[in-house]
């Protein structure tokens, strides 16, 4: 990781330092992601985290398997058919959040992500927790069935 930090620091200086970062705030979501992914070791999710939390890109959705699961449960169950988090699935998950929550979907994403954590889950209404638990049980059953068919 130290190599990533050294190379990223050098590239940031080369690009213009803090001023370059400030300029990313006025870019489109896609442009900011692409620019940040030029840094060594920065992939799509990390770029989106930086864009959302530091560059005012409030429509950016950092997608990992947990966020993908939320999108499957709450927006589009057909996403479960995907075998992995491909760039197309990543973009589809983000699009679903943006369609549902609008220009500040990134913040809605953060609230939903946090609500899935054990420390916060008990604060949710009982019917929401039951829905989450039922979906998780269905996921486990599907995985078990798929394993058995192999």
Instruction: List, by residue number, the catalytic residues.
Output: 45
Put residue 63 in one of left, alpha, beta given phi > 0 → left and psi -120 to 50 → alpha: beta
Of 97, 102, 30, 100, whose CA–CA distance to 66 is shortest? 97
| 136-85-143-100 Cα dihedral, nearest 10 degrees | 30
CA distance 15 to 18: 9
């Amino acid at each position: 990781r130290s190599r990533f930090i050294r190379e990223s620091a050098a590239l940031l200086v080369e690009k213009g330092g803090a001023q370059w970062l400030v300029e990313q705030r006025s870019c489109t979501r896609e442009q900011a992601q692409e620019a940040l992914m030029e840094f060594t070791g920065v992939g799509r999710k990390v770029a989106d985290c930086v864009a959302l939390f530091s560059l005012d890109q409030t429509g950016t959705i950092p997608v990992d398997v947990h966020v993908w699961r939320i999108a499957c449960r709450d927006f589009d169950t057909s996403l479960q058919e995907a075998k992995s988090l491909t760039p197309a699935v990543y973009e589809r998950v983000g699009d679903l959040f943006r369609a549902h929550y609008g220009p500040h979907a990134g913040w809605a994403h953060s609230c939903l992500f946090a609500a899935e954590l054990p420390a916060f889950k008990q604060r949710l209404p009982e019917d929401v927790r039951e829905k989450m638990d039922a979906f998780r049980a269905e996921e486990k059953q599907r995985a078990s069935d798929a394993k058995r068919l192999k």
